[in-house]
Structures are given as structure tokens and as C-alpha cells.
Amino acid sequence: MAHSESPEVKTSNFLRHIVEADLAAGTHASRHWCGKPGSGPQQQAGAPDPAKIRTRFPPEPNGYLHFGHAKSILLNFGLARDYGGACHLRFDDTNPEKEELEYVEAIIDAVHWLGCDWGDNLYHASDYFDFMYQAAEYLIQAGHAYVDSQSASDMRTNRGTLTAAGKDSPYRNRSAAESLDLFHRMKAGEFPDGSHVLRARIDMASPNINLRDPAIYRIRHATHHRTGDRFCVYPMYTFAHPIEDALENITHSICTLEFEDQRPFYDWLLERLAEGSLLARPLPRQYEFSRLNLTYVVLSKRKLIQLVEEKHVAGWDDPRMPTLVGARRRGFTPEGFQMFAERIGVTKSDSMIDMSVLEECQREHLNDIAPRRIAVLDPLKLILTNVAPDHEELCEAPNHPQKSEWGKRSVPFSRELWIEREDFTETPPKGYFRLFPGNRVRLRYGFVIECTGCEKDAAGNVTAVLAELLPDSKSGTPGADTYKVKGNIHWLSARHAYPSEVRLYDRLFAVPAPGARREGDPEDLERDFLDDLNPDSMQTIAVQLEPALKDALPEDRFQFERHGYFVADRVASRHGAPVFNRAVTLKDSWSKGK
Ligand code: ATP
Ligand code: MG
């Protein structure tokens, strides 16, 4: 990963402790690796595994990656990087119906963008279908699995409840030979979807419902995006996932808390397959951490898909979306996400993280990397009446106030300037130090001027501000500091400025928990998260920009002084005509109550 210069110190967490203890005890030291995923005998024939640990990020390619995935990605790749290991990118594509190639490519791009490198370890769970099928045959032969032919509803009824034990299926005592024959015919396509299912034979009375003979293979007459029509039986996720980990020599299989109750089955299954010598020991171990919950967004693929399909946003990469493609277009940085992941840490208890934490991390990193530029977002003409119409000169502005090594740039100055409309008023409130008739301000990096009045249209709107320049007051020239003024405003030469478009993005939702019940409102049980969309989450404005910004390349990031951090949009910018998106404001305006 490309974060070696990250200013953050790595904070420890319970997973780091587990990995460190395993490394100290040599828990995984005896593993062999044949250079690719494989069965127990295949791995044993290889050399000792050069990777001290192996972790994985296993997305299902059924949507774009969101901020929650970033936490998991940075955790898994971070552990591998820090402990001499490898982290695999694995497409968990065992469900034939919902997966698409578009998502596969988007996931690869997003993980790369975050700075993570999987080397040669890019895998597809569907490549393991043959092994999974053989593992199922083995379980049947060894008496650990049987074909059940109950209806789905009988199966549900007989599973029991949290307080009542389940009931054995009438098919539970089928002979291995009969189950094997049925399983082969399931694969041969003889039966319709749902007519038979292969189940593990464990314990219908287990207090853990997940151990009450869980289904491991089902019939699905569906075309898979990689294996086509080769199979009409597909493994269940809970069966497939442990096998995928084992074939890939994963040492620490890290998942979110809701899988905690699945861990006993994970271990049961791998133990059985190791007993049958299909897998090599030591086996992978599963660990759970709490998923990321963030305020002001939704992090569920189902809801994100709905936002896109119903066109509440412009697409998956809409800069307001909590997707990684959205964040990228917004101007967020991988390093900002890395800082965020370190700051929120990894725990086993569920919590809600405030969006302002992520925004602050982005702001801190952008402050560090973004050159300063001038932008006038609400332009009003300022005419310097004592400057000649054809006069031109250059002023020097630093590229970064704390980084003198970044040097200075020249900004053209002339008689007619653009200033912010809010930097002038005819009737100043108390404490207003900017332009009003009779007041002096400094044009930042330029001259001190004194306001003499303004011009108005018939409706009384101010169309231009008038001022006189004080000739010996230019910043950086001898004697300039003798002028003591309280106001300091930014400006652009009207003749030289680059007129462009800026999109001001704000939070997509107006409330911290979109769709949640409102406190003190007992009628309000079912609310739609869409009702909480922020109607002001995007504004497109016509602006005037410093001439140098015309040359900005897509994804170049800047601080527009006094306004925030902006990025040249990677989609909408044309060559020589960039348009900019606001990534974050300079200060958090939400926590103060907007
Ligand atoms: P969703 O619930 O949004 O559909 P998912 O968990 O089904 O997400 P997967 O593609 O299966 O999506 O996720 C890949 C990995 O990302 C999993 O290991 C999962 O644990 C992790 N992950 C998903 N959401 C979060 C989250 N909010 N916080 C941390 N990790 C997450
Ligand atoms: Mg999932």
C-alpha cells in the first residue's frame, strides 16, 4: 500500500493482538502453498507458505463498494502489509443470479484506488465449484450430509425456534448411497428448483439454529456469469465461504459481527473436510468485528441500488453517494480513508460513527496536499477608478501557507476585478470589516484599496463596487505594512479569470439516521429513508476562477481560499475546461447545527 508516509501512528486493536499472538506461537507456520488455491494434498506438495498470514477481502460482485467496505479492505490489506502476509481479493460469486461483470471491474478499480495491492492473489469463488461439489460428495459418503426432500415450508417449520428444538426430517436417515444418487441427479438437472436440498447432518436440537442441519447445496437453474450453464446446483454461502478460505490458505478470516453465530458451522465443516484429508491443517479461523455505521448516509447495497435506479442521484459515482467511486469524484482521498480507518479503530461492539469524523480526516489530508488557489463563487465586479484601463501587473501568491518549498505563483491584477458579493455592503453591521463606502481593505496578495461607492441597476441591485487603489501599499513591497486594515478579501482580475462551473455538494441525507423512527412520535413506525433525502445536497453555480485553474487535470485537488477543498471532476471536465466539485468545506458546518 502507498501510505508509508501516513502521519498516523498505527493504533493497535484486538485483531492485531490475535495476529501477533499467532505469529509468536507459530500457529500458522507449518502451512504450505503450492502457488495458488488448492486442496490439502495440493497445498502440502508446495513449499512453506512465504506469506506469514493470509487475509482476504471477499466482496460479492452485486453492487459498488461503499464506505463500509473501505473499513474492511483497509483492515484486511493493512494486517497483511504490516505482518509480512498477503491479502487476497476474492469475488464471492457463488450466487448465480445477482452478479454482473460491471461490478467486478468497479470493485477492482475501487480497491486499487484505496492503494491496496493483491499481487497475483485475485480469485473467484466460482473457480472452486468443482472442489465444493466433491466436498459435498465426501460429506454424504462420510455420513455428514443427506438430501432432504421436504417442502420449503416443512423445512422451515421443522427447524424449530430459539426456544424449541427442531424436528428431524423424515428424509434424515436416507442412506448415503441414496443421497449420493439424488445429489448426482440434482446436478444432472433432473429436478426443479427447490425440490431437493443437500443438508449437513449435525443436530436438529442444537441451541444454535445454524447447526440444525443447515442447507449446503440447492438447485438453481440459472446461468452464472463465469460458469455459464455448467451447474444447476449451487453451494450455500455458509458452506462455500469456509471452503474458499481454506483453499486459499487464509489464516485469519475476518468478517462482520452478524456472522458470529455461523462460526461453529465454519469450524465444523472445515474439521470434517480435514478429517477426510480434503483440506490441510492448520485450518483458517474466523474472527468478527463490528461493521461501520455512519450518520447521514445509508450503507446497504439494497438501498444504494434503489437510490441509483430511482434516479435520486445521478449514478453510482454521484459525488454524494457513500460509494468509493462517488467519494473519488467528490475529491476524497485514499489517505483520508486510511486516516479515518485508523481513527475509528476496530472493535467488537456496534456503534454509529459521525460523518464529521470522515469529513475531518479528508479535510486534514487535503489541507496537507492541496495547493491554494483563488475562486470567486458569487462574483461581483469591483472597479478601481484610479487604475488605467490597460494597466496590468502581477501579484505573488504562495501555493501553500505552511509549505514555502511549494513556491509562489503569479496572479494577474488589473483595473476590473471579481470579488465575492458578500464582501461588500452599503450598510455594514457591527464588526463588518470588509468593503463599504469609506472603508479600506487589503486585496489579498495585492494592494490596499478604499471603497468610494457602488453602481446599481434600476431595481437597486448592486452591479459594481467602486474603489481607489493606494499605490504604495502592494504586499511584499517596502512600507506596505504601514497600512493597518482589518479586512482582507480575495479577488481575481476580471479580464484574466477563467469562468467555469462549480458543484457544491452537501450531505445526501438531512438527518443522522435516514429512515429511522423519530423520537417522541409513536405514529411514525414505518418511515422511508427516501423521505430524509436532503433537498439541498447539490448546487451548481457559475463562478470565476484563477486563470491557472484552466490547466487543472481531472482529479487535481485544490483549496479554494476561504471556500474549501475542490477537485477537478474526472467525468465532466473537458480538456482545458475543467469543472470543479467541492469535496469538503474548510470547517464543519453541520455539528454546529445547520
Ligand atoms: P451489504 O450489506 O451492503 O449488501 P455485504 O456485506 O453484503 O454488504 P459483501 O460484498 O458481501 O457486501 O461485503 C464484502 C465484505 O465487506 C464482507 O467481508 C463484509 O463483511 C464487508 N462489509 C460490508 N459492509 C461493511 C460495513 N458496513 N463495515 C465493515 N465491513 C463491511
Ligand atoms: Mg454479503
* DSSP states of 28-75: TTT-EE-SS---HHHHHTSEEPSSS-EEEE---SSS--BHHHHHHHHH
Low-confidence spans in the chain with pLDDT less than 70: 1-10, 99, 520-526, 590-594
Residues 174, 285, 301, 442: which is the catalytic one? 301
Q: Which amino acid does the sequence have at 186? A: M
> What's the gap between Cα 77 and its chain centre?
15
**Burial of residue 576 (number of CB atoms within 10 Å: 0-12, 13-18, 19+):** exposed
Sequence-ordered list of residues with C-beta below 8 angstroms from that of 311, at least 6 positions apart, any chain: none
Q: Which residue has the least CA distance to atom 27 on ligand 1?
A: 68
Is 59 close to ligand 1, i.e. is its CB under 6 Å away? yes
Residue 492 annotated as binding site: no
pLDDT tens-digit series, residues 448-477: 999 999 999 999 999 999 999 999 999 999
Residue 498 annotated as binding site: no
Task: Return d(Cα 524, Cα 83) in angstroms, integer.
Answer: 50
Backbone phi, psi, residue 57, to 5°: -115, 115
Is 303 close to ligand 1, i.e. is its CB under 6 Å away? no
Alpha helices in 248-300 (DSSP H): 263-275
**Burial of residue 491 (number of CB atoms within 10 Å: 0-12, 13-18, 19+):** buried
Q: Which residue has the least CA distance to atom 26 on ligand 1?
A: 68
Backbone phi, psi, residue 540, to 5°: -105, 125
Cell reading at 112: 486499487
Go through 19-39 and write b for each residue having 16 or more CB atoms within 10 A of its CB, e for each that does not.
beebbeeebbeebbbbeebbb
In the chain, helix, strand, coil percent, each to 5?
30, 25, 45
Residue 206 annotated as binding site: no
Identify the residue whose cell numbers are 422511508.
Answer: 528
Q: What is the pLDDT of residue 589?
A: 72
Contact between 387 and 469 (Cβ < 8 Å)? yes
Q: CA dist 123 to 1, 127, 288, 492, Å?
A: 19, 8, 22, 53
**Measured in angstroms, how far is the CA atom of residue 58 from the centroid of ligand 2?**
9
Go through 235-244 and write b for each residue having 16 or more CB atoms within 10 A of its CB, e for each that does not.
bbebbbbbbb
Is 301 considered catalytic here? yes
Q: CA dist 442 to 413, 438, 487, 500, Å?
A: 14, 14, 6, 26
Backbone phi, psi, residue 560, to 5°: -85, 115
Report whether the peptide linkage leading into residue 282 is cis, meaning its omega lies within 30 degrees of zero.
yes
Is 392 considered catalytic here? no
Contact between 53 and 79 (Cβ < 8 Å)? yes
Task: Return d(Cα 49, Cα 322) in angstroms, integer.
Answer: 37
Beta strands in 320-439 (DSSP E): 352-353, 372-373, 375-376, 379-384, 392-398, 408-414, 416-420
Is 88 close to ligand 1, i.e. is its CB under 6 Å away? no
Q: What is the pTM of this model?
A: 0.94
Ligand 1 nearest-atom number relative to CA 256: 20
Is 256 close to ligand 1, i.e. is its CB under 6 Å away? yes
Cell reading at 454: 457602488
Is 115 close to ligand 1, i.e. is its CB under 6 Å away? no
**Measured in angstroms, how far is the CA atom of residue 66 from the centroid of ligand 2?**
12
Q: Which residue has the least CA distance to atom 13 on ligand 1?
A: 59
Is 60 considered catalytic here? yes
Which-ligand-closest: CA of 302?
Answer: 1
Which-ligand-closest: CA of 256?
Answer: 1
Ligand 1 nearest-atom number relative to CA 292: 28
Domains of the chain: 14-129+238-292 (3.40.50.620), 132-234 (3.90.800.10), 324-369+500-518+525-584 (2.40.240.10), 376-496 (2.40.240.10)
Ligand 1 nearest-atom number relative to CA 254: 18
Residue 237 annotated as binding site: yes
Ligand 1 nearest-atom number relative to CA 302: 4
Ligand 1 nearest-atom number relative to CA 63: 10
Residues 16, 98, 159, 291: which is the catalytic one? 291
Longest dimension (CA), the chain: 102
Is 68 close to ligand 1, i.e. is its CB under 6 Å away? yes
**Measured in angstroms, how far is the CA atom of residue 120 from the centroid of ligand 2?**
24
Q: Classify strands 145-148 and 197-200 as parallel, antiparallel or unpaired.
A: antiparallel
Identify the residue whose cell numbers are 460458469.
Answer: 227
**Measured in angstroms, how far is the CA atom of residue 59 from the centroid of ligand 1?**
7
Ligand 1 nearest-atom number relative to CA 259: 20
Q: Which residue has the least CA distance to atom 15 on ligand 1?
A: 59
Is 300 close to ligand 1, i.e. is its CB under 6 Å away? yes
Is 322 close to ligand 1, i.e. is its CB under 6 Å away? no
Q: Which residue has the least CA distance to atom 29 on ligand 1?
A: 291
Q: Which residue has the least CA distance to atom 16 on ligand 1?
A: 69
**Burial of residue 141 (number of CB atoms within 10 Å: 0-12, 13-18, 19+):** middle
Instruction: Please give the helix or strand (H or E) that residue 442 lies within, else none.
Output: strand 440-443
Backbone phi, psi, residue 89, to 5°: -100, 115
